[in-house]
Every structure is written in C-alpha cells, then in structure tokens.
Amino acid sequence: MKKFLRSMSSNVGVVGELLGFLGANKRWWLIPMVAVLLLFGLLVIFGSASGLAPFIYTLF
C-alpha cells in the first residue's frame, strides 16, 4: 500500500501530497471529510458559474 501511495504522490501533485501526508501520519479518518469538502466546493463553483445552477439549487 505504501508503494502505491508513493507512486500516486509523484504523479498527481497536491492531491498526492495530501494523501501521502494523511498516510504517513495515520490520519485516514480525515479522507471522508476532505472528500465532502471538495464535493461541496465543486457544487458551489458549478452552481455559481454555469447553467447548472437551477438543477443544483433543487438539491437543497
């Protein structure tokens, strides 16, 4: 698993650095929180800057 994380971190930049940090410090429990924050961030970006806004606003 560590070999896989090292290869991923060299290829994906910031996300790989984050995964490497979380793996090295045994903070795997933070991954779901980070994923949810990224998902909400994407919803905000797409909701305010595209024609998808009416469809996203119906979710809330």
Domain boundaries, the chain: 2-57
**Nearest to residue 59, comparing CAs of 49, 46, 37, 29?**
46
pTM above 0.75, yes or no: no
Tokens of 43: 């919803």
Residue 58 above 80 pLDDT? no
CA-to-CA separations, 52 to 1, 25, 30, 56, in angstroms, rounded: 38, 38, 29, 6
Residue 1 above 60 pLDDT? yes
Residue 11: predicted pLDDT: 64
Three-point CA angle 10, 15, 18, nearest 5°: 95
The larger pLDDT score, comparing residue 34 to residue 1, is at 34
The SS3 of residue 5 is helix
Residue 8 above 80 pLDDT? no
Residue 36: predicted pLDDT: 92
Residue 26: predicted pLDDT: 85
